Amino acid sequence: MNLGEKMTIKTNLKNILLVIFATLILSACSTAKKSADIEGDVYTGKETVEYLAAGVPDRVFFATNKSSLTSASRATLRKQANFLRKNKSLNVTIEGHADERGTREYNLALGERRANAARDYLMTYGISGKRISVISYGKEKPVNPKSSPVAWSQNRRSVTVKVN
Amino acid sequence: MRILTFIFIINLFVINKSHSLIEIDITRGNLDPLPIAVSPLHVDIKSEQYKDLKTKDLGNKISEIIEVNFKNTGLFNPLKKDAFVQKPDIAHLKPRFEDWRLIKAQALVTGKLIIKDEKLKVEFRLWDLTAAKEMTALAFTTTPSNWRRVAHIISDKIYERLTGEEGYFDTRIIYVAESGPKNQRVKKLAIMDQDGFNTKYLTLGNELVLTPRFNPTNQMVTYMSYFRNMPRVYLLDIETGTQDIVGNFPGMTFAPRFSPDGKKIIMSFAKDGNSDIYTMNLESRLVERITDHSSIDTSPSFSPDGKFIAFNSDRSGLQQIYVMRSDGSNVKRITFGKGIYGTPVWSPRGDLIAFTKMHKGRFYIGVMRTDGKGERLLTENYYQEAPSWSPNGRVLVFYRETKAGEKGEGFSAKLWSIDITGYNERKLSTKTDASDPSWSSLLSK
């Protein structure tokens, strides 16, 4: 075997490796795309979202076992507060929900805590607590019935519903 | 529902308490179940017709119920009837012991019944075939429509005689009957005999109902209902059907259970994002706050002596099980294992706490001592929770859900039971999907 032959083999190997790398990167991209709607366990997509008015989403999402508001959730709630300020006669109920991966009783408490987190935030933006009632449904009313991490993230939510 | 209150006249005509050769150790998983022959009960030819009851088959049917009860314990192996060697009436007088031993039976149940003057009279005997002795004999008189219960009571008496512990066959299970698609479930309170018969629905399904639990005398049930879209704890009188809201709380009340004396209901009350544990005395209506903590405190359960309360709380960050005195003092965390823990339920014997454990996406039902030591996980699955004890503290019933597909297909919720030995896991038969089971105490105690 001479030097030229060795070189060709090396280049070929390089090419093969490149192809493998490219495939890996591509497949990594496609998986990343699939879960792009979840950020650190919190749903960020729009699939299940409804609107109180144009540009005012009705719900915010939570991480597993958590009731803290993400910055995206706070932005949504500020839009809701703004909408409620403009519609002074409107009252709302905030429904708190949990995913199906916890015990029923704890999830009832968790849903209540989530609904109140949203309510408290609306109140700090000047909406009277008298206009906002809360109800927890725990894991009883999933919006997405599938058993998957994305469905669970869509179900961990609080939803603001007009009552009049 | 009058079935819960009728009187059994029990004539104890012989109880042979002398030691016997047959004994079943139920503290371990039984890999060698006791071969037992349950002879059909002899039906007296002088029996009268009672309503539409098929009197002729009754002896056979009662023996079959006993066999199913025994088989379900995992401790007994009821032998096939076609091998039986003696007619029921003759065997009941005195079995030919050597013939029954030939079919490898170690114990024999015989009996006879008669329906007369609208009364069902049943007597049975339990025979030790090895020692060639009668072990127990009992007679009952009751209204004929209670014939299934007679079979359960006989099963209890035999279980008691052979294991030295109380039985759990003359009992009921209250649960939530579920139907409809996963995201639009219709839920009703339902009650059935422990063997799945006599199912009755106690609510219509118009509102969501959850977590029913019996009081110590099995006449009342406390549960949670979304009646008028206000999630609150309710009290239901099974006999009269009367429903009452428990207390006047300005927010959600949930996770109710009775105190062991039946006088109080312990539950969680959620307000402003915080759930704490309260009790309410049903006579004086006095409400007491038991925990006062910014975390979620829920799923409370009294110890059978009423002195302690087990509950779960996320005060450490995630759900863990705690025990405190019944006045709320001396709170101690008892779970430190890997994973998170919920739904503690104190055993009726007082020695163990059953719980749900979640770890790495799997759900376990387990038991541990009341100080949290000696944890034993009995069963692992995709999703299961909410154990409830058999009245003798030997078996747990709980519910299990399956994974759902894109549109919720493949989802089911069923009741399961398992011995605290970790053996004898089995699905209970229910007419519909089912969850949140609560096991009654013995009805005829």
ipTM for the complex?
Answer: 0.93
Q: In this structure, how many other beta carbons lie within 10 angstroms of the beta carbon of residue A97?
A: 26
DSSP string for residues in B127-188: EETTTTEEEEEEEEEE-GGGHHHHHHHHHHHHHHHHHSS---SS-EEEEEEEES-GGG-EEE
Contact between A148 and A142 under an 8 Å Cβ cutoff? The reply is: no
DSSP string for residues in B42-99: EEPTTPPP-TT--HHHHHHHHHHHHHHHHHHHTSEEEPPGGG--S-HHHHHH---HHH
Q: Which chain B residues have a beta carbon less than 8 Å from that of A115?
A: 273
Closest in B183, B211, B403 to A104, CB measured: B211
Q: Which chain A residues have a beta carbon less than 8 Å from that of B211?
A: 104-105
Contact between B243 and B256 under an 8 Å Cβ cutoff? The reply is: no
* Whole-number Å distance between alpha carbons of B123 and B109: 11
Ranges of beta strands (E only) in B240-292 are 243-245, 253-258, 264-271, 274-281, 287-289
Interchain pair A109, B231: CB under 8 A:
no
* Whole-number Å distance between alpha carbons of B97 and A17: 82
Alpha-helical segments (H) within B185-342? none
Q: How far is CA A138 from CA A111, A113, A156, B190, B247, in A?
A: 5, 10, 9, 21, 22
Q: Which residue has the tokens 């995201």?
A: B183
Interchain pair A117, B408: CB under 8 A:
no
* Whole-number Å distance between alpha carbons of B155 and B414: 25
Q: Are strands B107-116 and A132-138 parallel, antiparallel or unpaired?
A: unpaired
What domains can be seen in chain B, in order of their start residue?
2-25+33-163 (3.40.50.10070), 172-439 (2.120.10.30)
pLDDT tens for each residue of B394-416 = 999 999 999 999 999 999 999 99
| B429, amino acid identity | S
**Cβ–Cβ contact A136 with B under 8 A:** yes
* Whole-number Å distance between alpha carbons of A79 and A99: 25
Global pTM?
A: 0.90
Residues contacting B161, CB < 8 A, separation 6+: B126, B135, B136
Interchain pair A147, B404: CB under 8 A:
yes
Residue B444's pLDDT is 86
Q: How many CA atoms lie within 13 A of B75 on its CB side?
A: 24
Residue B26's pLDDT is 67
- Closest chain A residue to B187, measured at CA: A140
Q: Which two tokens stand for residue B51?
A: 């309503």
Interchain pair B361, A101: CB under 8 A:
yes
Q: Identify the contact set of chain B against chain A, taking CB-CB distances under 8 A.
A: 181-183, 185, 208, 210-211, 224, 229, 231, 251-252, 254-255, 268, 270, 272-275, 296, 298-299, 312, 314, 318-319, 342-343, 356, 358, 361, 383, 385-386, 401, 403-408, 411, 435-436
Which residues of chain B are under the pLDDT cut of 70? 1-22, 26-31, 445
pLDDT tens for each residue of A21-49 = 555 444 444 444 445 699 989 999 999 99
Helix (H) or strand (E) holding A29: helix A3-34
Q: Which chain A residues have a beta carbon less than 8 Å from that of B298?
A: 105-106, 108-109
Q: How far is CA B219 from CA A113, B118, B151, B244, B440, in A?
A: 34, 26, 22, 14, 10
Q: Which two tokens stand for residue A31?
A: 């998986």
Q: Which chain A residues have a beta carbon less than 8 Å from that of B291?
A: none
The values of phi and psi at residue B153, to 5°, are: -70, -40
The values of phi and psi at residue B82, to 5°, are: -70, -10
Residue A74's pLDDT is 98
In the β-sheet with A157-162, what is the strand arrangement from edge to edge? Answer: A59-61, A157-162, A92-97, A132-138
- The nearest CA of chain B is from the CA of A122 a distance in Å of 14
Residue B32's pLDDT is 85
Q: Are strands A132-138 and A92-97 parallel, antiparallel or unpaired?
A: parallel
Q: In this structure, how many other beta carbons lie within 10 angstroms of the beta carbon of residue A125?
A: 14
What is the average pLDDT across A75-80? Answer: 98
* Closest to A127 measured CA to CA, from A52, A54, A70, A41: A52
Residues contacting B171, CB < 8 A, separation 6+: B152, B193, B194, B390, B391, B439, B440, B441, B442, B443
Q: How far is CA B181 from CA A88, A95, A141, B314, B427, in A?
A: 38, 21, 11, 32, 21
**Cβ–Cβ contact A111 with B under 8 A:** no
Residue B30's pLDDT is 61
- Closest chain A residue to B225, measured at CA: A137
Q: How far is CA A150 from CA A62, A99, B74, B137, B363, in A?
A: 12, 10, 41, 62, 20
Mean pLDDT (chain A, rounded) = 87
Residues contacting B386, CB < 8 A, separation 6+: A103, A104, B211, B343, B356, B398, B399, B435, B436, B437
- Residues of A (81-100) whose Cβ lies below 8 Å from B: 100
Interchain pair B318, A106: CB under 8 A:
no
Is the pLDDT at A146 greater than 70? The verdict is: yes
- The nearest CA of chain A is from the CA of B398 a distance in Å of 12
* Whole-number Å distance between alpha carbons of B79 and B33: 11
